[in-house]
Chain A
Amino acid sequence: MNKPSILTPVKTYDGTVQVIEAGADELYCAVTVPNAVHVLNRPEECCVPSYGELSRITAYARAHGVPTIATLELPFVADFMAEQMEEHVRSLVDAGVDALIVGDVGQILMVRRMGLDIPLHASTFLGAMNPEAVAFLRDLGVVRVVLERHVTIPEIADMVAHADGVEIEVFAFGGGCSNINSNCYLTGKLVLYADDADAAKVQEEMRGVWKPCRFPYEVYDYDSGRRLARVPIMDGYAFCPLCDLPDLIMTGVDGLKIVDRCRPLAHQLAATRILREITDLVAGDDQPFDARKRAQFERLLEGYKDVVLEMTHPVPGSGAAPAPIRLRELACKDKRCYFSPFMHRPYALQGTPEKVAKP
């Protein structure tokens, strides 16, 4: 059985030492692009602070047999920033990264035009959800494709089976995007500027929430103007992969990525240890995933379910403070599972909306 790599995000040298100790097979990270404004991807605080720090990370990782992969951070390239991006890519390569994650056809072309012989991984920004899309990216020269996160295990198995030499990586822990990365423009820094905004109300609504896909929205019928509900209708809370991990690993997938570079080190360490333990159990030897292994897996699962996955978003006006939500509450009770059918129970963190009539 193919044993997938566990990819853990890092932001610092100290974190690198700890996640490798916890069992990461590969590291991924980004460095702030000099003189760019990070509005289309993760904020700057989610990046390695300098190329110098990246050099320390790659040196330590390489000494421990762990590759470091850098995402280019900006999801595309245009003429006005091409020189800036080329310089950034050269700096990443000079800092010793082993591969680059690219988010756009133009970035692939740019790296190749630079004459750099470095492996390229296609980011979720390239939105691969079917074998034809994987083939398109393979023909462009990428060696690994990170699939769009909203795919089922049978779909992943199909893409692995038809990958034709390209490695397939999937998001396997954390991350709550409910939308398709490559088509989502909701992320980024919010600038609130309307003169008539009620600052107190805004502040209260934003408590514990910084992603627009988690905002509670007042939903109105477009034609009648009638108010229907107040719900976080985009429902961008985390999904859990754990119960499905054995089936996922048995698809033959090459990489399991822990999502979200912004999360604290404690989360990355916990996620790495969990994935390490399960991966080793399922694919660590030549034995099939039989009843004995299944029973052991179930015992491990019970222990993991108290991991804190999210913080609550209290209803405005309730006066409640954000509180930790454990995996068993968020994922198990509400069936928020990665790789599952797509009509999971919605809006658990805000209660269920009143019944809304279909047209």
Chain B
Amino acid sequence: MKTIIQIDNLRLLDEALSSRCDGVRVGSEFCEHLLPSDAALERAYAAVRDAGKPFTYVTPRLSVEGMQRLGAQLALLETWGGATVVANDYGALNALKRHPGLTPHLGRHLVRLPDRSPWAEGLVHDKELTPKQQRWLTNLYGVTSLNYAPTLAFYRDSGVRRVDLDWAPRIFQALDALAEGGLSLAVLLQFVPSTMTRKCHTARFLGEESHARCSRPCQQRAFILKSEILKAAGLRLYLLGNAAYRQEPATAEGVAELAARGVSEVVAAMDALTRLKSAAQVDAFFGALGV
């Protein structure tokens, strides 16, 4: 099982590279305004390669302008010698067809995973449902949109060999079919994104005036969202930037189960939610998980 660090703040790159992790991902899953400039991307690419680690560029949902920027960056990455690109937008996946020197990696935003819902636990135990309905819901919350043989074959035939998924124990069993279907699986740890927006909830809450001039408060600060309703559902949500998450702490037993099911990578983000800021913290985090 490989350990991977993901960062959207390049000031953390040195710490990430100093850790014992097997790979470093750079970019952003959630916000195109956090993607690095071409020059910063080149510096990060060189640093990761110099450290002897594979380079993975993580990309988010993309606007017209964001797609144009990424299109140019894909060409650069190919020129520099190739990379894996995590696509969280069908546009990025489409553009990757024109870059055979880059390895497409299906991002989790392109995989539907009902268990990201904070209400899943309550729903599968809803006493108002019949046993048949409960079984159906248990099945629903136990799969991903890749657990459909034609979909799996489509992505495989399109050259996609890698995919990101969440640490959502309800779906662990469903991962067997994906690994057997020829996909290399990466599981992101600790926080499961329940929703995301283009109207950044953090930026608006903090009074940022525009995306273009955003001071990137999400790189330093996160929030807890509480309400009587969430409390009644046994929940709290966490807000980081433009995404709200539910927490799903990883365990050593769970990591061992993932390894047995054929998962090849576990990924931890260095960000304001995980509070991983240094190489020592990263090593301690993965060490506690037995990897």
- Residues of chain A whose beta carbon lies under 8 Å from any beta carbon of chain B: 35-37, 39-40, 75-82, 104-106, 109-110, 113, 125-137, 139, 148, 150-151, 154-155, 158-159, 178-180, 182-186, 188-194, 196-199, 201-202, 204-206, 212-213, 215-223, 225, 228-229, 231, 233-235, 341-344, 346, 353, 355-356, 358-359
Given A80-B143, A190-B119, A353-B205, are A127 and B225 neighbors across the interface (CB < 8 Å)? no
Would you call A219 and B196 a contact (CB within 8 A)?
Answer: no
Minimum Cβ distance to chain A for residue B10 (Å): 17
Pick from B40-48, B59-67, B262-270 the stretch touching chain A.
B59-67
A84 and B225 alpha carbons, distance in the complex (Å): 38
Minimum Cβ distance to chain B for residue A277 (Å): 29
Would you call A219 and B199 a contact (CB within 8 A)?
Answer: no
Query: A182 contacts which chain B residues (CB < 8 A)?
Result: 109, 112
Query: B199 contacts which chain A residues (CB < 8 A)?
Result: 150, 178, 235, 342-344
Interface of chain B: mostly helix, strand, loop or mixed? mixed
Would you call A129 and B229 a contact (CB within 8 A)?
Answer: no
Of A139, A185, A356, the contact of B114 (CB 8 Å cutoff): A185
Would you call A192 and B122 a contact (CB within 8 A)?
Answer: yes
CB of B233 within 8 Å of the partner chain: yes
Would you call B195 and A40 a contact (CB within 8 A)?
Answer: no
Would you call B228 and A342 a contact (CB within 8 A)?
Answer: no
Query: B136 contacts which chain A residues (CB < 8 A)?
Result: 35-37, 81
Of A183, A193, A219, A356, the contact of B233 (CB 8 Å cutoff): A193
A159 and B211 alpha carbons, distance in the complex (Å): 21
Query: B67 contacts which chain A residues (CB < 8 A)?
Result: 129-133
Nearest B residue to A198 by beta-carbon distance?
B228
CB of B37 within 8 Å of the partner chain: no
Given A183-B195, A186-B118, are A129 and B228 neighbors across the interface (CB < 8 Å)? no
Minimum Cβ distance to chain B for residue A266 (Å): 28
Given A109-B150, A233-B205, are A132 and B92 neighbors across the interface (CB < 8 Å)? yes
Query: A79 contacts which chain B residues (CB < 8 A)?
Result: 143, 147-149, 177
Total A-B pairs in contact (CB under 8 Å)?
Answer: 280
Nearest B residue to A205 by beta-carbon distance?
B228
The B189-231 residues at the A interface (CB cut-off 8 A) are: 193-201, 203-211, 215, 217, 220-231
CB of B18 within 8 Å of the partner chain: no
Would you call A106 and B229 a contact (CB within 8 A)?
Answer: no
Query: A127 contacts which chain B residues (CB < 8 A)?
Result: 61, 89-90, 109
Would you call B119 and A189 a contact (CB within 8 A)?
Answer: yes
Would you call A180 and B197 a contact (CB within 8 A)?
Answer: yes
Would you call A82 and B215 a contact (CB within 8 A)?
Answer: no
Interface centre among A182, A205, A233 (most CB of B within 10 A): A233
Query: B231 contacts which chain A residues (CB < 8 A)?
Result: 194, 196-198, 202
Query: B92 contacts which chain A residues (CB < 8 A)?
Result: 132
Would you call A180 and B118 a contact (CB within 8 A)?
Answer: no
CB of B34 within 8 Å of the partner chain: no
CB of B291 within 8 Å of the partner chain: no
Minimum Cβ distance to chain B for residue A4 (Å): 20
Nearest B residue to A186 by beta-carbon distance?
B195
Would you call A235 and B114 a contact (CB within 8 A)?
Answer: no
Query: B145 contacts which chain A residues (CB < 8 A)?
Result: 76-78, 104-106
Nearest A residue to B94 by beta-carbon distance?
A136
A182 and B18 alpha carbons, distance in the complex (Å): 36
Query: B63 contacts which chain A residues (CB < 8 A)?
Result: 129-130, 151, 155
Pick from B50-58, B125-133, B281-289 the stretch touching chain A.
B125-133
Would you call A39 and B137 a contact (CB within 8 A)?
Answer: yes
CB of B123 within 8 Å of the partner chain: yes
The B215-256 residues at the A interface (CB cut-off 8 A) are: 215, 217, 220-234, 237-239, 244
Given A192-B122, A217-B226, are A130 and B232 neighbors across the interface (CB < 8 Å)? no
Would you call A192 and B229 a contact (CB within 8 A)?
Answer: yes
Q: Which 9 A-B pairs have the closest CB atoms?
A: A132-B91, A191-B122, A197-B232, A130-B67, A133-B91, A192-B232, A136-B94, A185-B117, A222-B222
Would you call A222 and B118 a contact (CB within 8 A)?
Answer: no
A113 and B150 alpha carbons, distance in the complex (Å): 9
A133 and B61 alpha carbons, distance in the complex (Å): 10
Minimum Cβ distance to chain A for residue B269 (Å): 14
CB of B258 within 8 Å of the partner chain: no
Query: A197 contacts which chain B residues (CB < 8 A)?
Result: 228, 231-232
Would you call A233 and B201 a contact (CB within 8 A)?
Answer: yes
Given pairs A39-B137, A40-B140, A213-B195, 16 additional interface contacts (CB within 8 A)? A106-B145, A129-B63, A130-B89, A131-B91, A132-B89, A133-B94, A180-B196, A183-B61, A185-B195, A198-B231, A202-B232, A212-B118, A219-B224, A220-B226, A234-B244, A359-B217
Would you call A129 and B61 a contact (CB within 8 A)?
Answer: yes
Of B91, B195, B200, the contact of A136 (CB 8 Å cutoff): B91
Query: B83 contacts which chain A residues (CB < 8 A)?
Result: none
